A and B are shown apart, each in its own frame.
Chain A
């Protein structure tokens, strides 16, 4: 590895606080998102560990019922709105998208900075609500409990979610215009890396879905604050209308959470199989199919909420249709590894762990979409296990695979490969031990959000709590060796993984304006077989 001369990078060309807080550089904004999201992740993780400790015993002996209700609500709000939705698009997307497009920056740099501030203001609203008493409505804020019965700080949390939603809208808008208007010469749509396709599909969902939850939380805040009566059953309103409007966004939101990590996984698996992705256009169009079909299925969250039997049939069928593109992606990833030159470095281990967990998450979706079974398992721990397998097993694992893949490009430093693999295994084992037993608990009928539960469920809950502690160790380990790599890591060089993609053609960490000369693209993505790899 040649020792790089002290070069100008986006990190060292300015050091003042203002150069960070007023930066318009997409790379720095990505890192600022990384800091806030990591803080929110450990905050949510803290709530989760308290929940798991509480549930180790059937009786409610660690915290009171109210506190427990606030714990799972804030765990949900912190994780959904402040970790899962921004994680890959705002951190990895912000950093990598312009680089992969060969652009100097996103289309609207000032808007990008505004998005970060809007995100932080929304986060502060929610932290204010947490600090001064917390909210206990569940992250779904169902009325009439949230609008009439709850005496906690619902309005502030609702406004926090409302404000943060605009950060997601503006980021989606920014990325979509960037992808349409700022691609490098020669970079046609079918030469784009699949991460860009995934970010494009996510932006589409962010733009079309987020406004609906904005109006829903606004209506809820106004109904509670000014006693308007939109969802109030006493006046003849319909609480199920709130659920329709809430889930119209919140189901596509889970595709906002899973699509970008899927894009990252496509990059990692192609890079470490040293082979072009299998069925490129199918994987690309399955992202778009997921984004569009994602809007047709929301009422599978309402199967037992009294919606009509016929609409339940319609939504159940559409839910099965939306499962197919995810299956296609998974099979294509597996097929990519066939006759590849698989280099089992840390990102690849994380990607394979993602495949294992996301597979279980996706397949258990078939149970919740099946009407006959869903009546029994709705609002039980089966559903909790399903969405954790997708969110934590899928989105968070995909995020970490992407983070480990692009870390050398972001920091210019290489982390310890051994520790990264150890962490991946610990997280994989801890995760399965935490959420595996919850499938059985769910089918046995243990309802979710229970502070106290019948004694016969204790053994499985203790297993789950044990798994949670292992999972916590795994996540802390990641933070340790990644931060350590910044100070003591060796220089990573411009293309440590010998991967394709414009982001690897520039130096790491990149120049303030990304590329010395405007890159021109001449070949398709992931053309490993065609190029002979020059050892730098």
Chain B
């Protein structure tokens, strides 16, 4: 709790010309930047707990039904999953470069890196679309016409319920990230950012890296359950 009290470094009266990007109720750009990043980190905490609820359900049912989890997980295409993981880690890299470009004031580079990140995100969503289409064809979508051969149909339907909830929630977060990055790209294109004020880029970066982290956990949990056939 030892954050700086010097948040009000200069005495409020003798402040330099009011910086265009500084909002009225903040005293310095420094304070505004720290407030924004702290706010974003706190939001990411709520997201961790938000996905956490589903991880609890996943963990419980994996312990209760290891055989069903193994059989249902083998239905997923591991190549597509691994490829998607690589794509998303790549988009995290391009996002990091976008933030770095904004920090160093390179407007054009920021726009390019963000568009690259959006492109990789789009690839991920397209691959996801094909995976979902394949599930619909195999009737692996929970609900009245769910079909899963063999005795583990009940728990398998729970697996697919969690699969669609987790990946659906993750995809929704990616679409939101898409919209945010479109706005940021447009702002960067309009040369709105300076090395002193690039907070929106940094914040969307934090959000995007979080979305990547969620997938880093979803991939092994959903795709790599007992590929070695322990629970044959």
Contact = CB atoms under 8 A, between A and B. Distances in A.
Given A208-B45, A226-B143, A229-B161, A245 B38 contact: no
A120 to B, nearest CB: 21
B155 A236 contact: yes
Interface in B147-193: 154-155, 157-158, 161-162, 164-165
Contacts of A70: none
Contacts of B8: 184-185, 518
A245 B143 contact: no
Contacts of B60: 238, 241
Given A103-B25, A104-B24, A173 B161 contact: no
A182 B24 CA distance: 13
Contacts, number: 124
Interface stretch (B47-55, B71-79, B100-108): B47-55
Given A180-B3, A228-B142, A237 B158 contact: yes
Contacts of B38: 176-177, 180-181
Contacts of A210: 46
Contact of B57 (A174, A211, A230): A230
Contacts of B45: 207-208
B3 A215 contact: no
Nearest to B162: A230
B161 A223 contact: yes
Nearest to B24: A104
Contacts of A5: none
A177 B60 CA distance: 35
Interface string A224-237: 00111110101111
B142 A226 contact: yes
Interface in A403-425: none
B49 A234 contact: no
Given A105-B25, A215-B50, A236-B155, A185 B5 contact: yes
Interface in A173-227: 173-174, 176-177, 180-189, 207-212, 214-216, 219, 222-223, 226-227
Contacts of B68: 236
Given A105-B25, A227-B142, A235-B154, A173 B39 contact: yes
Could you tell me the dominant secondary structure of chain A's interface residues? helix
Given A236-B158, A244-B56, A176 B42 contact: yes
A186 B65 CA distance: 58
B47 A211 contact: yes
B43 interface: yes
B49 A241 contact: no
A130 interface: no
A173 B64 contact: no
A189 to B, nearest CB: 6
Contacts of A109: 25
A169 interface: yes
Contacts of A185: 5, 8
Of A107, A184, A216, A232, most buried by chain B (CB within 10 Å of CB) is A107
A169 B42 CA distance: 10
A209 B45 CA distance: 10
B117 to A, nearest CB: 25
A181 B56 contact: no
B134 interface: no
Given A188-B5, A215-B53, A235 B158 contact: yes
A450 interface: no
B57 A241 contact: yes
Nearest to B12: A518
A528 interface: no
Contacts of A188: 5
B203 to A, nearest CB: 12
A180 B8 CA distance: 12
B156 to A, nearest CB: 9
Interface string B12-44: 100000000000111000010011001100110
A104 B143 contact: no
Contacts of A169: 46
B53 A211 contact: yes
Contact of B161 (A107, A187, A208, A230): A230
B144 interface: yes
A513 B23 CA distance: 13
B161 A207 contact: no
B53 A245 contact: yes
A501 to B, nearest CB: 19
A107 B46 CA distance: 18
B205 to A, nearest CB: 19
A207 B142 contact: no
Contact of B5 (A105, A108, A176, A183): A183
A113 to B, nearest CB: 14
Given A177-B35, A177-B42, A104 B25 contact: yes
B1 interface: yes
Contacts of B216: none
B130 to A, nearest CB: 21
Interface in A217-267: 219, 222-223, 226-230, 232, 234-238, 241, 244-245, 248
B165 A212 contact: no
B119 interface: no
B64 A181 contact: no
B7 interface: yes
Interface centre among A181, A227, A234 (most CB of B within 10 A): A181
A211 B50 contact: yes
A169 B46 CA distance: 8
Given A188-B5, A228-B142, A230-B162, A107 B39 contact: yes
A244 B68 CA distance: 23
Given A173-B39, A226-B143, A234 B7 contact: no
Contacts of B143: 226-228
A518 B142 CA distance: 60
Nearest to B156: A235
A181 B7 contact: yes
A141 to B, nearest CB: 14
Contacts of A245: 53, 56-57
A212 B49 CA distance: 6
Interface string A479-491: 0000000000000
6 interchain residue pairs of minimum CB distance: A215-B53, A228-B161, A211-B50, A235-B154, A104-B25, A211-B49
14 contacts: A105-B25, A180-B38, A181-B35, A209-B49, A211-B52, A215-B53, A226-B143, A228-B161, A228-B165, A229-B142, A230-B161, A236-B64, A237-B158, A238-B64
